[in-house]
Structures are given as structure tokens and as C-alpha cells.
């Protein structure tokens, strides 16, 4: 995790998000790339000539300049290498374009489009589309303890395999690793409870405890995973992102949506 891409967005949580990114950079000896995005158009059917965009563009530029100056001041006291980038367009598109040579994307649980609460369409889009994993941070997250226990959601699917492989740098540092499967999940002809995942981790000299979570209650699989993580005092949850493309829209699987609706600890996701 040497190249870390951080979303700079004035959602009230950027300072905390930057603190977490600094913890990650120190833990992995990494470099931070801080990306600020702003929309390239707010035009509507009654604004065919882009008057609204022309009026707002200087405001967005000024906000980006103010944020960059504040970050520059803060980072002058830090021991982490970094650079600042700007991109016009939706946050998901800007982050995706800048993620090609990144090892990790760090983003908040709030949806950047309207500063709304989770589930974040942008976080889900990146988890499904980016070539690197995405770390979704809860609103109140202001530090990252690399040595805290980690819980990996495992069902033997391709998505969970990709997530497990992407999480290896985190799991090497975790004080304890739990490979958790939910009893109600259909296994078909896939790997039986966690054995393949445990063998894979063992080859990387990572020991894990295999756990099977009982039948979920009304909160579903996502609720069961969150409860299991809380019970074990985990500081990280790892899971594969499930979804499919419909034209320009991403439709998330039920568990993916459920986890994004209730982000309690840093959530590492990849498709």
C-alpha cells in the first residue's frame, strides 16, 4: 500500500479522513495523493449555455485553492510524502481515472454528490470499477490502528477471493484475523467453510481463526457481519463488492448495499 489516493471533499469529515490516510501511509511507508474533484457542469434544460456552471466555476476553484492551502499548512508538520491533484467531473470518475497506479483509494461514507449519508453511490461505484481496493471510512473515523483485529467476510466467491488477496498487506499487520462465513449463504460448488481462504493466508504466513456466523436476524448478512466484527473488537472489515452494470448505473448486491448503509469500522472493498 505504497500509493494511497485520498478523496479531498468538504463534507465535514475530510480532516479526519486525512488523519486516517496519514496513519495508513506511516504504517505502510506510503505516499499520499490527495485529489480534489468538482463538477464540470450544473447546466439544466433551462441553462443551455452553462450560465450556472460559469457562475459556480470560480467558487469551486476558490474552494479548491483554500483547501489546498490548508492541506499544505497541515502537511508541513507531517513526515509523509504527498502531492495534490485536481479533477473536473464526478468524484467517482475523477478518482477512477487517478487510481490506475494506486494501491488504495480512501473515501468517506458520505455521498459526495449531495453530501448525503451512506450508502455512497461513489464508494460502491469505485469498489466495483477500480483496479485497487477501496477503504470506506465511517464519519467519525479519525485514526487507523493497523494492529487491531480484522474480519474478512468469506463465501468462496470470486469477489471474496479478490478482496482477501487485496487485503493481505492489512492482514499481515493485524493483531488477529477472523475469516468469517455466514451459515445461511449458499455455497454451491464453491469452497466449503473458509478452508481455501485459510490455506491462502497460511501461504502468506498469516494465521487466522475460522468462524461461522449463525443465521442472520432481521438485519440480514450485513448486520450479522457488523455484529461479529464488533464482538471481536475489529478495526477493519474486508469484503468483496457485489453488483452489476445497467447502462450508466451500478446496482449493488444486497450485502454490499447493507454494509455501505451501516459503515461502523473502516470497510475494505473490491470487486
Tell me, yes or no, whether 124 and 231 share the same domain. Answer: no
Q: 70-98: buried (b, 16+ CB within 10 Å) or exposed (e) per residue?
A: ebeeebeeeebebebebbeebbbbbbbeb
Tell me, yes or no, whether 185 and 239 share the same domain. Answer: yes
In this prediction, residue 177 carries a pLDDT of: 98
Distinct helix (H) and strand (E) counts, the chain: 9, 12
Tell me, yes or no, whether 161 and 124 share the same domain. Answer: no
Residue range(s) defining the domain that contains residue 157? 150-270
Tell me, yes or no, whether 34 and 87 share the same domain. Answer: yes
Which backbone phi and psi does 255 adopt, to 5 degrees? -70, -40
Which has more pLDDT, 48 or 85?
A: 85
The residue out of 137, 172, 192 marking a domain boundary is 137
For the chain, what is the domain count? 2
Cell numbers describing residue 231: 464482538
Tell me, yes or no, whether 8 and 133 share the same domain. Answer: yes
Tell me, yes or no, whether 98 and 47 share the same domain. Answer: yes
pLDDT band at 170 (very low <50, low <70, confident <90, very high): very high
pLDDT digits (tens, 9 = 90+) for 119-164: 788 898 899 899 999 999 998 888 999 999 999 999 888 899 999 9
Cell numbers describing residue 5: 489516493
The residue out of 83, 114, 137 marking a domain boundary is 137
The answer to whether residue 144 sits within a structural domain is no
Give the whole-angstrom CA distance, residue 212 versus residue 156.
13
In this prediction, residue 106 carries a pLDDT of: 97
Residues 11-34: what's their mean pLDDT?
94
- Tell me: pLDDT of 8 over 60: yes
Residues 85-98: what's their mean pLDDT?
91
Which has more pLDDT, 71 or 251?
A: 71
Residues 4-8: what's their mean pLDDT?
96
Give the whole-angstrom CA distance, residue 168 versus residue 184.
26
In this prediction, residue 245 carries a pLDDT of: 43
Tell me, yes or no, whether 123 and 203 share the same domain. Answer: no
- Tell me: pLDDT of 250 over 90: no
Tell me, yes or no, whether 83 and 183 share the same domain. Answer: no
In this prediction, residue 194 carries a pLDDT of: 61
pLDDT band at 42 (very low <50, low <70, confident <90, very high): very low
The answer to whether residue 198 sits within a structural domain is yes
Lowest mean pLDDT among 147-156, 159-168, 192-201, 245-254: 245-254
Residues 43-69: what's their mean pLDDT?
66
Lowest mean pLDDT among 103-112, 146-155, 182-191, 214-223: 182-191
Amino acid at each position: 500500500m505504497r500509493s494511497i489516493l485520498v478523496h479531498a471533499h468538504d463534507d465535514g469529515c475530510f480532516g479526519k479522513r486525512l488523519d486516517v490516510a496519514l496513519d495508513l501511509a506511516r504504517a505502510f511507508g506510503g505516499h499520499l495523493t490527495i485529489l480534489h474533484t468538482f463538477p464540470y457542469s450544473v447546466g439544466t434544460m433551462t441553462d443551455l449555455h452553462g450560465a450556472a456552471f460559469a457562475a459556480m466555476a470560480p467558487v469551486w476553484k476558490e474552494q479548491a485553492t483554500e483547501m489546498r492551502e490548508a492541506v499544505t499548512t497541515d502537511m508541513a508538520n507531517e513526515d509523509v510524502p504527498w502531492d495534490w491533484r485536481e479533477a473536473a467531473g464526478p468524484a467517482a470518475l475523477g478518482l477512477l481515472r487517478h487510481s490506475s497506479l494506486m494501491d488504495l483509494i480512501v473515501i468517506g461514507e458520505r455521498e459526495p454528490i449531495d453530501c448525503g449519508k451512506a450508502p455512497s453511490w461513489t464508494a460502491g461505484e469505485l469498489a466495483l470499477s477500480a483496479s485497487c481496493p477501496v477503504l470506506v471510512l465511517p464519519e467519525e473515523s479519525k485514526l487507523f490502528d493497523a494492529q487491531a483485529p480484522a474480519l474478512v467476510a468469506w463465501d468462496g466467491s470470486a469477489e471474496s477471493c479478490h478482496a482477501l488477496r487485496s487485503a493481505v498487506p492489512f492482514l499481515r499487520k493485524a493483531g488477529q484475523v477472523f475469516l468469517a462465513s455466514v451459515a445461511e449463504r449458499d455455497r454451491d460448488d464453491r469452497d466449503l467453510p473458509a478452508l481455501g481462504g485459510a490455506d491462502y493466508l497460511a501461504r502468506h504466513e498469516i494465521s487466522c481463526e475460522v468462524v461461522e456466523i449463525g443465521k442472520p436476524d432481521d438485519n440480514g448478512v450485513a448486520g450479522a457481519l457488523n455484529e461479529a466484527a464488533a464482538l471481536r473488537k475489529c478495526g477493519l472489515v474486508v469484503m468483496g463488492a457485489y453488483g452489476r452494470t445497467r447502462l450508466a448505473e451500478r446496482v449493488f448486491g444486497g450485502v454490499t448495499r447493507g454494509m455501505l448503509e451501516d459503515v461502523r469500522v473502516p470497510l475494505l472493498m473490491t470487486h
